[in-house]
Amino acid sequence: MTPKSIAIVGAAETTKMGKIPDVSVIGLHADAALNALADAGLKATDIDGVATAGISPVELAHYLGITPTWADGTAVGGCSFMLHVRHAAAAIAEGLCTTVLITHGESGRSRVGAGGFGRSPSSLMGQFEMPFGVTSPPTMFTIPVLRYLKARGYTEEDLAQVAVVQREWAAKNPRASFKDPITIADVLGSPMIAWPFRMLMCCLVTDGGGALILTRADRARDFPQKPVYILGTGESVETPMVSQMEDFTTSRAFRVSGRKAFAEAGVTHADVDHLMIYDAFAHLPLYGLEDLGFCQPGEAAAFVRERHTAPGGKLPVNTNGGGLSYMHSGMYGMYALQESVRQMRGIAPAQIPGAKISVCHGVGGMFAASGTIIFTNEA
């Protein structure tokens, strides 16, 4: 894909967010899709490419009445939607389709029409991780962290600081689930989930969805919204088992994905005005700042502590409040993308004045996968 040759022309979240007990998973996909279509001034019949995760692209196309010439069901966890954006950009550039709809919907809290989390006991995870008591992300994603803290000289307070700063951003966002200010003491005093992780270092569990519509940049001017151009993209995968990460102090998938995206975009870190780092847990922004190259290893905690990522800081991070305070339905990547698009359109609740370049970085599984999209609002 040539930088700026593909644009986001439609973007929306579900009408409601948080607790939505009266809508099923596929209903959340459809609600987000209809909102994004309205945002772009399109009908479902205008769409000829579909991508989604959680449900199959076949279900999505059929439910909405779309006859696609391109479909992508890449499902690598919460960053699947970053990979969809990347794949869709390549597909449009190649002429496989012209107008792509990417959807996410998840009944993470209410579990309406949602599947289970079951993994086969004969899978590698089923044989070599599940027997030791891991159940869900709070006992898996957190496993590398004590090693990371020791290697970097970071502390529990450094993890807590991430949650505190993100709550400051959430306070500016009317749609955020949690808006009340918190302190490091509040975070460290919240219930223990899996040492060293307390409840306020873990993401929310909510219902919601989001959708994006992409097309060629030369068509984007005909759409009602300010186009948001794709400048660079990256993706990678590492391991389905967190215990088998190459190095517990750095994510290979983050590094590979980030490097690809920056190389394609042809921008430097100093050019970046806004950054989203998928934060299922409080350690992820620290890994992200280091692995994407915004901080040297060992400097990320001080970078957050010195308020560079906070409101008023030089590198605003997770300006919607993040998975820790805004919302987290299970596959949060779509909401990070939505916030990057809002910032580039200039309509975010906590808008960064004059922001021109936004980096949106996602994680899938437990450091299993990664996707990075770099956006700009300059044609």
Partner 1 sequence: MDRALPQPTPETQHFWDGCAAHELRLQRCIACRDSYFPPRPFCPKCGSREVEIYPASGKATLYSYVINHRPRPDMGTEPHSIAVVELAEGPRMMTNIVGCPQTPQALVLDMPLEVTFESFGAITLPLFKPAEAPAR
Q: Nearer Cβ to partner 1, position 129 or 235?
A: 129
- Single out the residue of 3, 18, 113, 138 in contact with partner 1 (rule: CB under 8 A): 138
Contacts of 304 (CB under 8 A, 6+ apart): 158, 161, 162, 165, 285, 286, 289, 310
Q: Nearer Cβ to partner 1, position 133 or 353?
A: 133
**Is residue 285 at the binding interface for partner 1, with CB under 8 A as the rule?**
no
Count residues binding partner 1 (CB under 8 A). 35
Q: Which stretch binds partner 1 (CB under 8 A): 31-39, 58-66, 130-138, 223-231?
A: 130-138
- Single out the residue of 2, 67, 135, 155 in contact with partner 1 (rule: CB under 8 A): 135
- Single out the residue of 146, 263, 302, 347 in contact with partner 1 (rule: CB under 8 A): 146
Contacts of 251 (CB under 8 A, 6+ apart): 238, 245, 287, 291, 363, 367, 370
Structure tokens at 180: 């009340």
Sign of the Cα pseudo-torsion (333, 280, 366, 283, in order):
positive
- Single out the residue of 70, 81, 169, 197 in contact with partner 1 (rule: CB under 8 A): 197
**Is residue 139 at the binding interface for partner 1, with CB under 8 A as the rule?**
yes
Q: How many CB atoms lie within 10 A of CB 112?
A: 16
CA atoms within 13 A on the CB side of 248: 16
**Interface pattern 243-272 for partner 1 (x via CB under 8 A):** xx---x------------------------
Q: Which residue has the tokens 């205008």?
A: 46
Structure tokens at 99: 């107008």
d(CA 235, CA 193): 31
Collapse the DSSP code of 375 into the 3-class scheme (helix H, G, I; strand E, B; otherwise coil) and give the result: strand
Smallest gap from residue 136 Cβ to partner 1 (A): 8
**Is residue 121 at the binding interface for partner 1, with CB under 8 A as the rule?**
yes
Q: Nearer Cβ to partner 1, position 32 or 134?
A: 134
The H or E element spanning position 186 is helix 184-189
**Is residue 124 at the binding interface for partner 1, with CB under 8 A as the rule?**
yes
**Using only C-alpha atoms, what is the Rg of the chain?**
19
**Is residue 241 at the binding interface for partner 1, with CB under 8 A as the rule?**
yes
d(CA 137, CA 135): 7
Q: Nearer Cβ to partner 1, position 45 or 120?
A: 120
Burial (CB count <10 Å: 0-12, 13-18, 19+), residue 304: buried
Smallest gap from residue 175 Cβ to partner 1 (A): 28
**Is residue 117 at the binding interface for partner 1, with CB under 8 A as the rule?**
no
**Is residue 296 at the binding interface for partner 1, with CB under 8 A as the rule?**
no
Sign of the Cα pseudo-torsion (156, 162, 164, 170, in order):
negative
Contacts of 19 (CB under 8 A, 6+ apart): 109, 110, 206, 207
**Is residue 129 at the binding interface for partner 1, with CB under 8 A as the rule?**
yes
Smallest gap from residue 243 Cβ to partner 1 (A): 4
Q: Nearer Cβ to partner 1, position 126 or 224?
A: 126
Binding site for partner 1 (CB under 8 A): 120-122, 124, 126-135, 138-139, 142-148, 150, 191-197, 241, 243-244, 248
